[in-house]
Structure 1
Amino acid sequence: MSRLVQGGRRLLDLGVRNRDFAQDRRLRILNAVAVLAALISLLYCSFYAVYDWRHFWREIAFLPLMALLYTSVLYFTRLGRATFAMWYLVSVALFHLGVISWMLGPESGSLSYLLIVPFVLALLMGENDRFSVWPIAVAVGVLFVLVSLSVQSGSITSLPQRVQIWIFLVNSFGAIFLSCVVAVFFRWLIQVTESELDAERRRSDRLLHAILPGSVVPQLKADRRKVIAQDIPGATAVFADIVGFTGWALRTPPDEVVAELNRIFSRIDKLCGNRKLEKIKTIGDAYFAVCGAPDEMPEHAERVADFALDLMAEAENWDSATLPKLRFRIAIASGPMVAGVIGRTKFAYDVWGNTINLASRIEEHCNPGEILISAATDAALPVRFVREAKGPFDIRDQGPTELFRLISRTEKKGRALEARPASP
């Protein structure tokens, strides 16, 4: 049974590329209707053959040919030619139903199947199709009238009255049943499509939340053309650069380099999440994050200082056969900055301003295993952080700048610790 279901599913999916939901739905409907029409044609052919093959010899010769033509629709859907297959199926159906109704006579009720043609075509038509369903509906009406008014006697007129009634009822209710089957199948396809679209939407949301701050995503989804920019009066930026990584990477196979860097940055991502920092990007082997943007965070300097000390502790306890020793240079600066989303197809949340430039320049003066902070960050830190003054540095594009080294944290409370001068 499972093999039969799998085979039926493969038959319905002929030509489906999983690229365009509307196109895939059209192909599945075409495949289903073509198979149903072929099976019904063979079923009627079998009935006529069993009942009286001499009386219905024309129908018995005609119906297998129609079943073959319906089956040939699958060849075109397999090639992905949905539009051609649609009009080919409509043409075959009109020819089939017109001829068979003329053979059997209007009393047979086979004309009822004609009404399904515009109904199925309406389900198949897309918004961008240049043709309308109304010409086909008119053609069906004309064909219906012509066959109904035909004076020629059909095959069933010479049959007993009871048999004529049964054939009329079978054709009439068969047309209703087939319409219901197609409608239910179409509704099932819509539900499947909606489920796939919902899954795709959730996946897109996850991707957006992975690359953009949570508070920015709703703004971007509401209007992708909107310029998302923010003036941040106070936030803290941090750069963490891996010491000696470039030289190590030159001596190491690429797959090991990428795997190790991914492992390191994954750990940093977790530390960022724990301290509620916003990762901005990675630049080579450097990690750039901020706190206080886009969402205001009063204790932004404190959270970044905790993050930096957590990262140093992580480096001390690093265990890896590939990169046995892990050390960082960490630079921190606090102050105003501008934040926003750039890009139209590839979105990126970024921050700019002198505070970012200062943090980047401070990193150039860091020693391996050292955390340097700006004077603004030092002033914003509470008493539990131990710092020492490093003296003024001639920072590129900044001039003489007072920097401090973040040493550790304590649980002491009271007045702020005075900055101690650097040891000679």
Structure 2
Amino acid sequence: MSKRKQSYQDYFTERPMRASEMDSIAPTVGLAKCLPIGHSETDTPFSKRIKSLFAFVLIAFCIPATIFYFDPNRTPYVHAVDLFIIGISVVTLAVLHFTQKAWLAFDVLGTAVALVMVFSFSVVGNRGADLLVPVFFPLLAITVRGPHKSWIWLVVIVGVEALVYGIAPYLPEFNHPWMVTALNPTGSLFHSPQKLPITQGAISVAIVLTVFIYFLVHYAYVEALKAQVIAKEQAEQLAVAYSQSDRLLQNILPRSVVERLKENPEQLIADDLPDVVVLFADLVDFTPNASRMPAAKLVALLNQVFSKFDDLVDAAGLEKIKTSGDAYMVAGGLNNGGDENLAKIAELALDMRRITQELSYNGQGAMNLRIGIHVGPVTAGVVGRLKFYYDMWGDTVNLAARLQTSAEIGEIQTSKETRARLENVYEFSPAKTKRLKGLGDQQVSALIGRKAG
């Protein structure tokens, strides 16, 4: 059985649907919400609607039968038929409610309908509409039992029609007081003068009509289900594609920028941010070591290092801005400033240094970093159309970059502004003055670690 065929057949099973199907087809609204008979927690919205529709049909059977039962002009036999319709409808509703199985309730109803058809046609014969009523029962079976099992009830109904036609002439003479009327003074049950014969033409038309309408509706119903399954598959594929594109965007741009671009893809993203922490990290002696490594090992090593960095950045809720060769840039405070971002960057720098020192260049010498950290105002935005990227500019970025390039091997070099906001919690080396290219003399310190206690 194909996956798609199994999928539309699953709409009619009593088991919970797979996770990918749980949100299928339609919300629980309308009749299903107003008439929740037989609903269970594992039902899909579709199966709830089917159960409510079935319950509605049963109630619709009960109402006219109840009204007719109190008509004094009807014979005791007809009153008995009315009572039977009321009784079997109530029993079927009870089965549906207590078992929560629509298929079982329908089979109870179907068995009763087949029996009453045999008896009713045998007693009253062809009343025109009586031969058309069986047309609708297989149609209800398509909805409640499902198109793949409804054919059983088509066979049953057609078989009942053929059986009644075949046995009608051979029914015994039988009289009953319930059947006594002015036109039937002897109370004949099966051969009453009021009984209209079921002719070969009438039964043939009834059977052909029943079969034709059944297969027409069955085909239309199955095609509708297939269309729903295809639409659902396409929606799932679109959702996956959207998720993948969204994930790719978030790998390139900060989350807040992605959301803004979703709202207006054409807008210019350019922000002046007052309090951003910028970290630059660079692998020491990467270029000479890289020249001695095969390309595959080089890329694998760089991927290993930067993937570990990415995990740390993501866990801290910071933003990776870019990588360039063996350099790595991170920022905190794009959405809101504060010392919390400084602390996150400080912990990130310590973890990055520790992770790097545990690795080596192809087993020949430990890896190490130079790191620079500064905090202050930046200008940030998205530039380009082909392979666009998010970047930052300003003195804060320049100073963080110069702190990184002038740091000693394994050193996390910070500006005086960074130290001033972290020194209550973190330990620093004594401050010293350094001349940084393009920035002049700057007071710098090395971040050592978190203070004990």
* TM tier, smaller: 0.5 to 0.7
Which structure would you say has the larger Rg? 2
Quote the residue 2:267 is aligned against.
Answer: 226
Q: Which amino acid aligns with 1:264?
A: V
Q: CA deviation at 1:187?
A: 1.5
Instruction: Identify if the C-alpha distance between structure 1 residues 392 and 322 changes in structure 2 by more than 3 Å, giving closer, same or farther.
Output: closer
Instruction: Identify if the C-alpha distance between structure 1 residues 198 and 276 changes in structure 2 by more than 3 Å, giving closer, same or farther.
Output: closer
Q: CA deviation at 1:324?
A: 4.4
Moved segments of 4+, more than 6 Å: 6-9, 159-162
Task: State the alpha-carbon separation in 2 of the partners of residues 274 and 408 from structure 1.
Answer: 19
Which of 192, 217, 239 lines up with 2:280 in the alignment?
A: 239
Task: State the alpha-carbon separation in 1 of the partners of residues 360 and 348 from structure 2.
Answer: 20
Task: State the alpha-carbon separation in 2 of the partners of residues 239 and 262 from structure 1.
Answer: 17
Is residue 257 from structure 1 mapped to residue 298 from structure 2 by the alignment?
A: yes
Task: State the alpha-carbon separation in 2 of the partners of residues 190 and 328 from structure 1.
Answer: 53
Q: CA deviation at 1:359?
A: 1.5
Q: Is the 8 A contact 1:236 1:290 kept in 2?
A: yes
State the Cα deviation string for residues 344-387 of structure 1 (Å, max 9, x = none). 56453322211111222222222222222222222222223222
Quote the residue 1:375 is aligned against.
Answer: 416
**Helix, strand or coil at the partner of 1:290:** strand
My pick for the range that moved more, 265-274 or 241-250, is 265-274
Task: State the alpha-carbon separation in 1 of the partners of residues 280 and 404 from structure 2.
Answer: 7
Task: State the alpha-carbon separation in 1 of the partners of residues 397 and 361 from structure 2.
Answer: 32
User: Aligned ranges for residues 34-183 of structure 1 at < 5 Å?
Assistant: 170-183=211-224
Q: Which amino acid aligns with 1:272?
A: V
**Helix, strand or coil at the partner of 1:358:** helix
**Helix, strand or coil at the partner of 2:429:** strand
Instruction: Identify if the C-alpha distance between structure 1 residues 320 and 274 changes in structure 2 by more than 3 Å, giving closer, same or farther.
Output: farther
Q: Is the 8 A contact 1:318 1:326 kept in 2?
A: yes
Task: State the alpha-carbon separation in 2 of the partners of residues 162 and 235 from structure 1.
Answer: 87
Quote the residue 2:427 is aligned against.
Answer: 385
Q: Which amino acid aligns with 1:198?
A: A
Quote the residue 1:65 is aligned against.
Answer: none
Q: Which amino acid aligns with 1:292?
A: G
Is residue 336 from structure 1 mapped to residue 333 from structure 2 by the alignment?
A: no
Is residue 5 from structure 1 mapped to residue 46 from structure 2 by the alignment?
A: no
Q: Is the 8 A contact 2:353 2:369 kept in 1?
A: yes
Quote the residue 1:364 is aligned against.
Answer: 405
Q: CA deviation at 1:405?
A: 2.5
State the Cα deviation string for residues 221-275 of structure 1 (Å, max 9, x = none). 1221222332211121111100111111111111111111111111212232344
State the Cα deviation string for residues 163-202 of structure 1 (Å, max 9, x = none). 6775565445433332222222111211121122222223
Task: State the alpha-carbon separation in 1 of the partners of residues 446 and 231 from structure 2.
Answer: 62
My pick for the range that moved more, 320-329 or 278-287, is 320-329
Q: Which amino acid aligns with 1:225?
A: E
Task: State the alpha-carbon separation in 1 of the partners of residues 309 and 373 from structure 2.
Answer: 16
**Helix, strand or coil at the partner of 1:215:** helix
Task: State the alpha-carbon separation in 2 of the partners of residues 297 and 343 from structure 1.
Answer: 30
Instruction: Identify if the C-alpha distance between structure 1 residues 6 and 381 changes in structure 2 by more than 3 Å, giving closer, same or farther.
Output: closer
Quote the residue 1:326 is aligned against.
Answer: 367
Aligned pairs, number? 259
Task: State the alpha-carbon separation in 2 of the partners of residues 211 and 256 from structure 1.
Answer: 25
**Helix, strand or coil at the partner of 1:200:** helix
State the Cα deviation string for residues 106-126 of structure 1 (Å, max 9, x = none). xxxxxxxxxxxxxxxxxxxxx
**Helix, strand or coil at the partner of 2:351:** helix
Task: State the alpha-carbon separation in 1 of the partners of residues 214 and 315 from structure 2.
Answer: 66
Uncovered stretches (5+) of structure 2, i.e. residues with no partner: 7-199
State the Cα deviation string for residues 140-166 of structure 1 (Å, max 9, x = none). xxxxxxxxxxxxxxxxxxx98876775
Q: CA deviation at 1:309?
A: 2.2
Quote the residue 1:419 is aligned against.
Answer: none
Q: Is the 8 A contact 1:386 1:409 kept in 2?
A: no
Q: CA deviation at 1:333?
A: 1.7
Task: State the alpha-carbon separation in 2 of the partners of residues 173 and 271 from structure 1.
Answer: 63
Q: Is the 8 A contact 1:329 1:363 kept in 2?
A: yes
Q: Which amino acid aligns with 2:429?
A: R
Q: Is the 8 A contact 2:4 2:229 kept in 1?
A: no
Quote the residue 1:217 is aligned against.
Answer: 258
Quote the residue 2:312 is aligned against.
Answer: 271
Q: Which amino acid aligns with 2:247?
A: R
Q: Is the 8 A contact 1:388 1:406 kept in 2?
A: no
**Helix, strand or coil at the partner of 1:240:** strand
Q: Is the 8 A contact 2:433 2:441 kept in 1?
A: no
**Helix, strand or coil at the partner of 1:368:** coil
Task: State the alpha-carbon separation in 2 of the partners of residues 169 and 249 from structure 1.
Answer: 80
Q: Is the 8 A contact 1:302 1:380 kept in 2?
A: no
Task: State the alpha-carbon separation in 1 of the partners of residues 243 and 432 from structure 2.
Answer: 49
Q: Is the 8 A contact 2:361 2:367 kept in 1?
A: no
Quote the residue 1:193 is aligned against.
Answer: 234
Q: Is the 8 A contact 1:337 1:355 kept in 2?
A: yes
Quote the residue 2:153 is aligned against.
Answer: none
Instruction: Identify if the C-alpha distance between structure 1 residues 321 and 223 changes in structure 2 by more than 3 Å, giving closer, same or farther.
Output: same
Q: Structure 2 length normalisation: TM-score? A: 0.51
State the Cα deviation string for residues 8-37 of structure 1 (Å, max 9, x = none). 89xxxxxxxxxxxxxxxxxxxxxxxxxxxx
**Helix, strand or coil at the partner of 1:294:** coil
Instruction: Identify if the C-alpha distance between structure 1 residues 377 and 7 changes in structure 2 by more than 3 Å, giving closer, same or farther.
Output: closer
Q: Which amino acid aligns with 2:327?
A: A
CA RMSD of aligned residues (A): 2.9
Task: State the alpha-carbon separation in 1 of the partners of residues 207 and 312 from structure 2.
Answer: 77
Task: State the alpha-carbon separation in 2 of the partners of residues 388 and 182 from structure 1.
Answer: 79
Which of 259, 263, 284 lines up with 2:325 in the alignment?
A: 284
Q: Is the 8 A contact 2:279 2:400 kept in 1?
A: yes
**Helix, strand or coil at the partner of 1:230:** strand
State the Cα deviation string for residues 84-126 of structure 1 (Å, max 9, x = none). xxxxxxxxxxxxxxxxxxxxxxxxxxxxxxxxxxxxxxxxxxx
Quote the residue 1:49 is aligned against.
Answer: none
Is residue 400 from structure 1 mapped to residue 441 from structure 2 by the alignment?
A: yes
Task: State the alpha-carbon separation in 2 of the partners of residues 281 and 364 from structure 1.
Answer: 17
